Structure 1
Amino acid sequence: MLGDDIEIILHDVTDLENSVVAISETNLSGREIGSPVTNLILKMLKEGRSQHKSFITNYEGVAKDGTVLRSSTFFIRNAKDEIIGMLCINIDYRKMEQVIDYLNKFVGVCKPAKKKSPPAVEHLSPSIEDLAKSSIKEIVGGVNIPPERMSQEERLEIIEKLNENGIFLLKGIVSIVAEELCTSEASIYRYLSKVKKVHGSV
Structure 2
Amino acid sequence: MVNEDRQYLEKFFPIASFIAAIIGPKCEVVVHDISDPERSIIFIENGYISGRQVGDASTDLVLKILKSEAYHEEHFIANYKASGKFGQSFRSSTYFIKNDKNKLVGLLCLNIDVTHMEVAAEWVQHILQGGPNPYIAPPVAELPQEEKQTTEYLQGNADDLLQHMVSSVIGRLTIPPDRLSSQEKIEIVRELNELGVFLLKGGVSQVAASLSISEPTVYRYLQKLK
* 1:47 alignment counterpart: 68
Per the TM alignment, residue 184 of structure 1 is displaced from its structure 2 partner at its CA by 2.1
User: How many corresponding residue pairs?
Assistant: 195
**Higher deviation after alignment, 78-87 or 117-126:** 117-126
Per the TM alignment, residue 158 of structure 1 is displaced from its structure 2 partner at its CA by 0.8
Q: Is residue 164 of structure 1 aligned with residue 194 of structure 2?
A: yes
Q: Return the letter of the residue paired with 1:186.
A: P
Deviations 1:154-175 (CA, angstroms, capped at 9, x unpaired) = 2211101111222222334212
Q: How does 1:157-196 map to 2 (within 5 A)?
A: 157-196=187-226
Do the aligned residues in 2 keep the contact of 1:60 with 1:122 (CA within 8 Å)? yes
Q: Is residue 124 of structure 1 aligned with residue 154 of structure 2?
A: yes
Give structure 2 stretches of 5+ with no counterpart: 1-20, 140-147
Deviations 1:26-50 (CA, angstroms, capped at 9, x unpaired) = 4222322222222222222222211
- Rounded Cα–Cα distance in structure 1 between residues aligned with 2:206 and 2:155: 14
Give SS of 1:58's match. Answer: strand
- Rounded Cα–Cα distance in structure 1 between residues aligned with 2:68 and 2:222: 17
Per the TM alignment, residue 103 of structure 1 is displaced from its structure 2 partner at its CA by 4.4
Do the aligned residues in 1 keep the contact of 2:58 with 2:156 (CA within 8 Å)? no
Q: Is residue 38 of structure 1 aligned with residue 59 of structure 2?
A: yes
- Rounded Cα–Cα distance in structure 1 between residues aligned with 2:82 and 2:92: 6
Give structure 1 stretches of 5+ with no counterpart: 197-202
- Rounded Cα–Cα distance in structure 2 between residues aligned with 1:162 and 1:186: 16
Deviations 1:122-177 (CA, angstroms, capped at 9, x unpaired) = 12232222222222222223332333443322221110111122222233421222
**Higher deviation after alignment, 8-17 or 38-47:** 38-47
Q: Is residue 110 of structure 1 aligned with residue 130 of structure 2?
A: yes
**When the two structures are superposed, what TM-score results if normalisation uses the length of structure 2?**
0.75
The CA RMSD measured in Å over matched residues stands at 2.4
Q: Return the letter of the residue paired with 2:159.
A: E
Q: Return the letter of the residue paired with 1:184.
A: S
Q: How does 1:53-202 map to 2 (within 5 A)?
A: 53-104=74-125, 108=128, 110-112=130-132, 114=136, 118-196=148-226
Q: Return the letter of the residue paired with 1:28.
A: I
Deviations 1:60-116 (CA, angstroms, capped at 9, x unpaired) = 11222332211111111111011111111111112223333444555x453315568
Q: Quick check: which one's helix share is greater? A: 2
Give SS of 1:50's match. Answer: helix
- Rounded Cα–Cα distance in structure 1 between residues aligned with 2:79 and 2:66: 19
Give SS of 2:56's match. Answer: coil
Do the aligned residues in 2 keep the contact of 1:4 with 1:26 (CA within 8 Å)? no
Identity %: 39
* 1:200 alignment counterpart: none
Do the aligned residues in 2 keep the contact of 1:18 with 1:37 (CA within 8 Å)? yes
- Rounded Cα–Cα distance in structure 2 between residues aligned with 1:180 and 1:127: 19
Q: Return the letter of the residue paired with 2:121.
A: I
**Higher deviation after alignment, 121-130 or 152-161:** 121-130
- Rounded Cα–Cα distance in structure 2 between residues aligned with 1:190 and 1:102: 53
Give SS of 1:21's match. Answer: strand
Do the aligned residues in 2 keep the contact of 1:133 with 1:180 (CA within 8 Å)? no
Give SS of 1:59's match. Answer: strand
Do the aligned residues in 2 keep the contact of 1:17 with 1:170 (CA within 8 Å)? yes
- Rounded Cα–Cα distance in structure 2 between residues aligned with 1:148 and 1:91: 41
